[in-house]
Amino acid sequence: MRHPQLNKHGELQHLLTLDGLPRDILTAILDTAAPFTEVAEREVKKLPLLRGKSVFNLFFENSTRTRTTFEIAAKRLSADVVNLNINTSSAAKGESLLDTVDNLCAMHADMFVVRHAASGAPMMIAQHLHNTGRDHIRVVNAGDGRHAHPTQGLLDMYTIRHFKHDFSNLTVAIVGDVLHSRVARSQIAALTTLGVPEVRVIGPRTLLPTAVEKLGVRVFHDMREGLKGVDVVMMLRLQNERMNGALLPTPQEYYKIWGLTAEKLALAKPDAIVMHPGPMNRGVEIDSAVADGAQAVILPQVTFGIAVRMAVMSMLGSH
C-alpha cells in the first residue's frame, strides 16, 4: 500500500504524518524553513511563492494558536487564506466531513489545512481527493485526534537542530500524557527517523499507550531516573479533563511527581533545553521558574513554527 501522503514518485503530496516520512524529505523541510526565519525580520514580511493560491484553514476542533500560525505562514507566502471553524457551522447542521470538503473544492481551494478531533480525518480527506481525481489539492494535517501533529513535530526538530546542531548524539526525553498526545507521536516518529540514539518517554502507566516501546522509545515512570543526562526535555500538555478521574487522581499529585521543576531539571545535562508545544499549564506539568528560565526555548519554538509551516506550504504548493 502506497502511503497516502507521497505521490507515485515518492514526493510529498500532502503532509499527514511524520510516521514513515523518509528522512531526506524531513531534512529537506527543515532546510527549506531556515531562510524563511529571516523573512519575519524584514520590513516587508512577504514572499510571492503562493500568490494566487487559496488556502482553507479547516478547523473542526478549536485552536486559536495553531490556526493563527498557519494563517500567518500562508499570508507571508502571499496566499489567500479562508478560515473556517466547522464545529460552529456545517457540522452542527449535520453536513458530513466529505460534503464539506466537496463544497470547498467547488470553491477552487488549492490547499486544506485540517484540524480534526478524530485520528485519521486528514488522511481520509486526502484519500477522498485522490479517489475523486483532485490530486492537485494539498492537505496539511494541523492535528488529528491522538494520531499526528506533523508541523508541530517538525518545528520541534527545527528547534532542536537550531540549538543542538546534530541529532546523532542526543538523548531526548518526552514527559507527560503520551497516550492522548498527537504531538508526542509526531515527535517520536521524527526523532527516530533523524537518528536520535535514545528517545525516552516518562509518565505514569495510565498516560503511556500500550506497546509504546514498539515506537522505538525507552519507557520511564520515575521522572528523576528518566531525566538523567538528557540533552532535550520535551514537555507535553496535560488536558484539563484528564486531571481528575480514572487516569490521574489530582493535578497536585501529578505536579509533585511529573511536573518539571528546577530541581528535577538539574538532573539533565547542564546545557539541556526545555520545550513545550503550548499552551502551558503552569504549576501542573511545568513550574514557572523553568518555563521562563534560561533553558526554556518555548518562544523560539513558536517563531520557528511559522517558518516551518511556510516551508511545508511552499513545498506542497510548488508541485
Given the rule CB under 8 A, which residues bind other proteins?
A: 1, 3-4, 19, 96-98, 116, 118-121, 123-124, 127-128, 144-148, 182, 185, 209-212, 214-215
Check if the beta carbon of residue 238 is closer than 8 Å to that of residue 178: no
Task: Output 97 or 109, the one with its CB closest to other proteins.
Answer: 97
Check if the beta carbon of residue 290 is closer than 8 Å to that of residue 223: no
- Closest separation in Å from C-beta 263 to other proteins: 32
Q: What is the DSSP track for 163-225?
A: HH--STT-EEEEES--TT-HHHHHHHHHHHHTT-SEEEEES-GGGS-TTGGGGS-EEES-HHH
- Closest separation in Å from C-beta 215 to other proteins: 7
Task: Output 4 or 317, the one with its CB closest to other proteins.
Answer: 4
Q: What is the DSSP track for 30-88?
A: HHHHHHHHHHTTSSS----TTTT-EEEEEESS--HHHHHHHHHHHHHTT-EEEEEEGGG
Task: Output 120 or 204, the one with its CB closest to other proteins.
Answer: 120
List alpha helices for 233-317, DSSP H: 251-258, 262-265, 288-291, 298-317
Task: Output 14 or 161, the one with its CB closest to other proteins.
Answer: 14
Task: Output 215 or 302, the one with its CB closest to other proteins.
Answer: 215
- Closest separation in Å from C-beta 184 to other proteins: 10
- Closest separation in Å from C-beta 211 to other proteins: 4
Check if the beta carbon of residue 218 is closer than 8 Å to that of residue 192: no
- Closest separation in Å from C-beta 201 to other proteins: 11
- Closest separation in Å from C-beta 89 to other proteins: 18
Amino acid found at 144 = D
Residue 120, phi then psi, degrees to nearest 5: 95, -5
Beta-bridge partners for 72: none
- Closest separation in Å from C-beta 314 to other proteins: 26
- Distances 35 to 30, 81, 128, 267, 275 between C-alpha atoms, Å: 10, 22, 34, 35, 22
Residue 55, phi then psi, degrees to nearest 5: -105, 125
Task: Output 95 or 110, the one with its CB closest to other proteins.
Answer: 95
Task: Output 146 or 276, the one with its CB closest to other proteins.
Answer: 146
Please count the residues of the chain.
319
